[in-house]
Amino acid sequence: MTVVISATGLYAPSNSVSNAELVASYNEYVERFNAANAAEIATGSVEALQPSSVEFIEKASGIKHRYVLEKEGLLDVERMVPNIPDRSNDDLSLMAEVSVIAGKQALERAGRNAADIDAVICSCSSLQRPYPALAIEVQDALGAGGFGYDMNVACSSATFAIQNAADIVRAGHARSVLVVNPELCTGHLNLRDRDTHFIFGDAAVAILVERADIAPAGAWAILGTKLQTRFSNNIRNNFGFLNRCDPEHRDDVDKLIIQQGRKVFKEVVPMVSEMILQHMAELDLKPTDLRRMWLHQANSNMNRLIAERVLGHEASQDESPTVLDEYGNTAGAGSIIAFHNHSADLKAGDRGLICSFGAGYSAGSIFVQKAA
C-alpha cells in the first residue's frame, strides 16, 4: 500500500530575536559577571567570560534570527530564561496549543476534518510532561478519534514519527495519522553559554500521513523511510523527573542542552551522508533523481557538507533550501519547515528527501515523490 504525506502545517511565534539583540543581552551578562568577579578573575581563581559576536554566529551557524515564544525574559540579563507561566490543569497546555495550531493548518490544507483522523503522534525533543500524553490532549482538542501517544527522538523526532505513522497506516490500524512536532526549544537553551546561546528557536509543525487512495491531489508518496541511531553523549540534556529542577536552579547547565559542537559536526556529517547514500542505493535512486533535499536545519556548514556528499557537487539554495537563517535550529521541526516553505513549486513526479539528524545520535531519511 502506498502511504503519503497529504499536507503539512507550521506554527511560528510572532516574537522574534535577532543575533544583535541576543548578543547585546549576552555581552551585558558577561560584563556584569566579570565586574562582579573582578577580584577572583585577578587572582586567577575564576575565568573571565568572553563576549559573543554576531559575526561568529552567522559564520559558524548560518543563523541570523529566530522566532521565540517569549522574548522579554529571554533577553532580560537578570533572568535569561523565557517567561512562560504555568497553566492550570484545566487549560490547554502550551505544547498542545501550538500543536493544535499546526495540526489544524495541515488538516485544512488537506481538506480534512479532525474527525477523519484515526491517530495522533506527538513527537518532539523535549516533552512538557510525561503524562497524560500530549498527543491525547491534542486529539481531544481537535476532536480526532482513535488513539494518541508521545515519542521523543531529539532532532529526529519528526522523521521517526513519520515512519511510525506510515507503519500504522500500512498495517491497517489507521487511515489518517496526524504527526505533531512542537519544538519549544528556547526552554532548554542555556542563554548564558557562549557556545550554544544562539542556536535554537521555537516552532511547531504537523504532518498528515495517510493512505494514498484517500489523499488529496498533490500529496507526496513516501518512497521509503530509514532510521538510524548510535549512542553519543555529545548532545545531552539531563532534565527529568528524577532530578527536578527548581526555578532558582533553572540555569543549571546540566539540566539544559550541553553539546560538544565540534565533535557533533565531525561525527554526524559522515554518519548522515553515508546513511542517505545507502538508502538511495536501496531505493535505486541516483543523485540526479533528486529534485530537492529538505535537510535538518542545525548548522549551515553541516548542511552544505552533507548535501555536497550526497549530490556530488555544492548544492544551490534551490536544491537544498535553508530556513536556518530565519528560524534558527528548531530541532525536529527544521526539515519539515524547509519542506513546508519550499515544496509548492515542485511538479508531479519530482522526488525529494526529508532528512533529520541530531542527539542520540539519531538520523532519519524519508524519500518522497509528488503525486499528480
Contacting residues toward ligand COA, per CB under 6 A = 52-53, 56-57, 60-61, 155, 194-195, 235, 259, 261-262, 264-265, 268, 298-299, 302, 329, 357-358
Return the number of the residue (103 or 328) whose C-beta is nearest ligand COA: 328
Is 185 one of the catalytic residues? no
Return the number of the residue (23 or 366) whose C-beta is nearest ligand COA: 23
Question: Which residue has the CB atom at the shortest distance from ligand COA?
Answer: 261
CB of residue 300 vs ligand COA: minimum separation in angstroms?
9
Return the number of the residue (62 or 148) whose C-beta is nearest ligand COA: 62
Return the number of the residue (56 or 239) whose C-beta is nearest ligand COA: 56
CB of residue 335 vs ligand COA: minimum separation in angstroms?
11
CB of residue 263 vs ligand COA: minimum separation in angstroms?
8
CB-based contact 332:155 (threshold 8 Å): yes
CB of residue 358 vs ligand COA: minimum separation in angstroms?
4
Number of Cβ atoms within 10 Å of the Cβ of 64: 17
Which one from 122, 124, 155, 185 is the annotated catalytic residue?
155
Positions marked catalytic: 155
